[in-house]
Structure 1
Amino acid sequence: MAIMTVYHGGYTPVKSPEIRVGRNTKDFGNGFYCTIIKEQAQRWAKRYDTKIVSIYDVRLNSKLRIKEFREMTDEWLDFIIDCRSGKIHSYDIVIGAMADDQIYNYISDYMDGSITRDQFWIMAKFKYPTHQINFCTKEALECLDYRGFEEVF
């Protein structure tokens, strides 16, 4: 498989990524999140006093269980709802669009029954493209090769 470059925005260089277990607030569950969009990683880093974007080469292992959402679909929406509700999936890597804060507010409204699924899709238009790739298992993390980092100013 081809090599791609991915970025992780944070407050410190991450030479040895780990699976992060959170509070069920991540779109694709627990893991180590990156993106192919450098500007998006820079936005992630800008949440911190020290703004660091770690850079990795990735060669995906075809033996891993990889789920890719090429578009925002009902399946994508249901997957995010399941993950954010604490449901565990069996994928090593999950790739797709990100439900940013605005989109997640719409997801919450849909989950609460305040809006219908059709109303969700009408409102769920991104202002700019988003992308995330979640490395969910130790085997998936082995696909990452740390290249270095950049500080964001």
Structure 2
Amino acid sequence: MALMTVYHGGYQAVERPEIRVGKYTKDFGKGFYCTVIKEQAQRWARRYTSKIVSVYDVRLIPGLRILEFKEMSDDWLDFIADCRSGKPHDYDIVIGAMADDQIYSYVADYIEGSITREQFWILARFKYPAHQTVFCADDALKCLSYRGFEEVR
């Protein structure tokens, strides 16, 4: 039995996920980004002409370095600020809230020093970030078992 099901939204089915370094830094650094929220993956897929959500079962492998943020916190903010600034980390899997476009603009302001940490939390308090699970290492990708894909209408 799977520990959880995750979804990846994109323009094609991804039967064999890979760690790819994009041209933009992301919340939790380089990795294969998924979510436990199917509707969120569908939103990701809607950015493309071909709208595909790949579905995976996740079975965690013992010994992996996993960092999970149960809630938005100062540690979560600092981690995202570091990753968005290009600082690498040593985790195999990172799980937590996603800084959506609105939250990310606050993160960017915080990184630039335009707002303080306290101001960030005041602005972010009423926003509801989405979820992300990021597989950051090849060993972590072995946790994923491809189940298939769905086209988003």
Q: How many equivalent residue pairs?
A: 153
Given the superposition, is the C-alpha separation of residues 96 and 58 from structure 1 closer, same or farther in structure 2, using an over 3 Å criterion? same
TM-score by length of 1: 0.95
Unaligned runs of 5+ in 1: none
- Equivalent position amino acid for 1:4 in 2: M
Identity of aligned residues (%): 74
Q: What does the per-residue CA deviation read over 1:69-116, in whole Å, with 9 as the maximum and x for residues that have no partner?
A: 000000000000100111010000000000011111001111122111
Q: Which residue of 2 aligns with 1:88?
A: 88
Q: Which residue of 2 aligns with 1:69?
A: 69
Runs of 4+ aligned residues of structure 1 deviating over 2 Å after TM superposition are: 125-129
Is the 1:106–1:120 Cα contact (8 Å) retained in structure 2?
yes
User: How big is the shift at 1:22?
Assistant: 1.7
SS at match of 2:130: coil
SS at match of 1:19: coil
TM-score by length of 2: 0.95
SS at match of 2:98: coil
Unaligned runs of 5+ in 2: none
When structure 1 is superposed on structure 2, of 119-128 and 93-102 the one drifting more is 119-128
* Pairing 1:99–2:61 present: no
Is the 1:24–1:86 Cα contact (8 Å) retained in structure 2?
no
When structure 1 is superposed on structure 2, of 4-13 and 16-25 the one drifting more is 16-25
Q: Which residue of 1 aligns with 2:13?
A: 13
SS at match of 1:76: helix
Alignment RMSD, CA only? 1.4
